[in-house]
């Protein structure tokens, strides 16, 4: 493997000194880039892109050619694990993911098993290996997975949901069934992320997109507990350096202390919390990732820079901040606005880092 030319992102996650605040964007490889749309049209479908290592690598590298980003993130989908469990995943145009065989009862859970990361999910590991090769040590590669709770929402609801009535119905009427499913998913995610690390991912992130729809007590029992279990089971050192772990619960601002207590290296923040407040609460224990509202990228260059300056000031002096959006970049954002954002982070953050 090539030596890493820019390790700013990995250093910041471990709260080690950096010369500027590192920045990357959730969904940085994707539909807002015309070159991505062209490649996806050529591939014929989203899953064709994911399952072809050369194409997945090309998509992962596309944003790095446009922007001075400090990390690449594996191009994949959070639903690869449920798909490998044989639930019949398909993507409906304009409607998002659908499962033909959703989980409805204990018998359904008992029919599925932990997918083999180098078997049914080998295409993901092949993509990781290909991306690492193609990156040539330019920046680190982030691997990722959905959280058990978030994966379970899609598996039980049969797709996307607004009210989460099916999974919450199961949670309140058949909690043992849901715990069985979540435990299976926690084991699957642990093996999946460890395989990504062995294949070359230099940092991993768990996306708990729907943890924020739970009550505080249910969040701890049905989401956080299982992410904690994954963190405990992950490979934390590979290729002679630490492999940092980031946990991100959207709308999880009220539970930051509990998330930091899992032993993760960094906590991802959405835009509903002030960076200064998060820093005061947990910033001495873990690194923080975030947290500009993705819609800010519709604003003028001047307004984007003002927001970057505000968030940097909220974190203040020293390392331990990875700048990001509070969620994924929107598909109709002009790429030139993303460039303004990335460049502003590097330029405006330098005074916060003493060499």
Binding-site positions for substrate read: 27-31, 77, 154, 209, 327
The one catalytic residue in 32, 154, 192, 226 is 154
Instruction: Name 205's bridge partners.
Output: 144, 246
Active site residue 8: no
Active site annotation includes 11: no
Establish whether 77 is a catalytic residue.
yes
The residues near 262 (Cβ < 8 Å, ≥ 6 apart) are 224, 227, 228, 231, 247
Distances (CA, A) of 225 to 148, 229, 230, 253, 259: 10, 6, 9, 17, 10
- Report the C-alpha gap between 104 and 172 in whole angstroms: 14
19, 40, 183, 298: which is the annotated catalytic residue? Answer: 40
Contact 45, 109 (CB under 8 A): no
- Catalytic site includes residue 27: yes
Binding residues: 27-31, 77, 154, 209, 327
Name the active-site residue from 7, 77, 265, 270: 77
Closest by CA to 263, choosing from 239, 240, 236, 300, is: 236
Radius of gyration of the chain (CA): 19
Q: How many CB atoms lie within 10 A of CB 179?
A: 16
Laid out side by side, the sheet with 287-292 consists of 72-73, 141-146, 203-208, 245-249, 266-268, 287-292, 321-325
Please tell me the distance from the alpha carbon of residue 140 to that of residue 203, in angstroms, as a whole number. Answer: 8
Active-site pick, 8, 11, 27, 132:
27
Catalytic residue, chosen from 31, 101, 129, 281, is: 31
Helices and strands, counts by H and E, the chain? 16, 11
| Separation of alpha carbons 94 and 60, rounded Å | 23
Active site residue 65: no
Dihedral sign of CA atoms 63, 65, 70, 71 in order: positive
What positions carry a catalytic annotation?
27, 31, 40, 77, 154
């Amino acid at each position: 493997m090539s030596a890493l030319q820019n390790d700013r992102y990995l250093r910041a996650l471990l709260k080690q000194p950096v010369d500027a605040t590192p920045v990357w964007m959730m969904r940085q490889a994707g539909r807002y880039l015309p070159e991505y749309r062209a490649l996806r049209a050529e591939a014929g479908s989203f899953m064709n892109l994911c399952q072809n290592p050369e194409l997945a690598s090309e998509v992962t590298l596309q944003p790095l050619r446009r922007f001075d980003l400090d990390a690449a993130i594996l191009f994949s989908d959070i639903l690869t694990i449920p798909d490998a469990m044989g639930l019949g995943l398909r993507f409906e145009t304009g409607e998002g993911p659908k499962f033909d065989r959703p989980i409805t009862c204990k018998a359904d859970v008992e029919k599925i098993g932990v997918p083999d990361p180098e078997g049914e999910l080998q295409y993901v590991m092949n993509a990781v290996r290909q991306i690492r090769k193609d990156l040539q040590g330019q920046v680190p590669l982030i691997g990722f997975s959905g959280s058990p709770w978030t994966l379970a929402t899609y598996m039980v609801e049969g797709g996307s949901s607004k009210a989460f009535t099916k999974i919450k119905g199961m949670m309140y009427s058949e909690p043992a069934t849901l715990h069985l499913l979540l435990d299976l998913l926690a084991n699957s995610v642990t093996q999946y992320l460890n395989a990504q690390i062995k294949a070359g991912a230099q940092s991993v992130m768990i996306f708990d997109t729907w943890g924020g729809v739970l009550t505080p007590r249910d969040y701890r029992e049905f989401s956080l507990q299982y992410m904690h279990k994954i963190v405990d089971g992950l490979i934390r050192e590979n290729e002679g350096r630490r492999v940092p772990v980031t946990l991100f619960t959207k709308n999880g601002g009220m539970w930051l202390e509990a998330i930091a207590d899992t032993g993760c290296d960094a906590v991802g923040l959405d835009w509903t919390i002030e960076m200064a407040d998060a820093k005061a609460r947990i910033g001495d224990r873990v690194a923080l990732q975030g947290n500009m509202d993705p819609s800010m990228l519709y604003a003028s260059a001047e307004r984007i820079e003002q927001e970057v300056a505000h968030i940097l000031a909220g974190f203040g002096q020293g390392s331990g901040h990875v700048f990001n959006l509070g969620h994924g970049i929107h598909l109709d954002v002009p790429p030139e606005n993303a460039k303004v954002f990335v460049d502003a982070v590097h330029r405006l953050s330098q005074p916060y880092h003493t060499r």
